[in-house]
Amino acid sequence: MPYVHRISSKRKNIFSLFNVNSILIAINVVFFIIFSIMLGLGVPLDYIAIKPSNILNGEYLWTFFTSMFMHGGFFHLFANMFSLFFIGGLVEKILGHKRYTYFYLLAGLIAGIFFVLSSFIFPGDYNTYAVGASGALFGIVGLLVLLTPDLPVFVMFIPIPVKMKYAGPGMLIILWLISIAGNIPVGNMAHLGGLIAGIFYGLYLKKKYRRKTAHLRRMFR
């Protein structure tokens, strides 16, 4: 788990030639435009957004991935990509290009699974659609909570930096309260799933790379 990703001149590939985080942001923007056009042309939302009733019936399984690259509007896209720009690049430097790519996709997938399974607890979500990169984004947050708990970050509506170990759970709670108070549809269970995925991966890295992760924590005190 390198802190500075070394690129070998002998073994260059697509992961080593580009900044993966920037590519992910670009893909999210491009897919948002493409999917928006498709919906405007009459393509059903079932083909793009994840919906528990579809998944549990064995239908539209590809939406586990397409939903990760679609957003509910420009502000939703901007908020997620703005956050990803600032913290995704740091995680990519910590993990390396390839490992970061796999982690991002896996965190998003686990977030989608959590959202689907939550329909057994919250029946109202059974026929609710979900889109967005928030699940993968919270996976990144969960990982930083474990690896860089004292990293200062800014959280929505709070004008002073907050340590990551407080900011991660805090963001989850704030979004949950906003969704309840404003009766706004927010994929809270997907966020929770992503956060848990990041925390568990962080635990794995701390156990496997004790010295490196300890050094990383000291760097951000």
Above pLDDT 90, what percent of the chain? 66
Contact partners, residue 207, CB within 8 Å, separation at least 6: none
pLDDT score for 8 = 41
Contact partners, residue 214, CB within 8 Å, separation at least 6: none
Q: How far apart are CA 46 and CA 59, in angstroms?
A: 9
pLDDT score for 124 = 72
Q: How far apart are CA 163 and CA 217, in angstroms?
A: 12
Q: Is residue 88 within 8 Å of 23, Cβ to Cβ? A: no
Residue 153, strand partner residues: 162
Residue 74, strand partner residues: none
Catalytic residue selected from 119, 134, 179, 215: 134
Q: What is the DSSP string of 122-180?
A: -GGGTT--B--SHHHHHHHHHHHHHH-TT-EE--TT--S-EEHHHHHHHHHHHHHHHHH
Digit-coded pLDDT (tens) for 41-97: 999 999 999 999 999 999 999 999 999 999 999 999 999 999 999 899 999 999 999
Q: Does residue 10 carry a pLDDT above 80?
A: no
Q: Does residue 99 carry a pLDDT above 60?
A: yes
Query: Which CA distances in Å does 182 have to 100, 175, 186?
Result: 35, 10, 10
**Residue 36 falls in the annotated catalytic set:** no
For residue 157, how many other CB atoms are within 10 A of its CB?
7
Above pLDDT 70, what percent of the chain? 90
Please calculate the CA angle 144-148-154 and round it to the nearest 5 degrees.
Answer: 70
Q: Is residue 140 within 8 Å of 94, Cβ to Cβ? A: no
**Residue 8 falls in the annotated catalytic set:** no
Residue 163, strand partner residues: 152
**Sequence-ordered strand ranges (E) for 48-114:** none
Catalytic residue selected from 71, 118, 119, 191: 191
Question: Where do the domains of the chain lie, and which CATH numbers do they carry?
Answer: 15-219 (1.20.1540.10)
Q: Does residue 6 carry a pLDDT above 50?
A: no
Digit-coded pLDDT (tens) for 80-96: 999 999 899 999 999 99
Give 28: exposed, middle or buried? Use CB within 10 Å, 0-12, 13-18, 19+. Answer: buried
**Poorest-confidence range of 119-128, 130-139, 140-149, 175-184?**
175-184
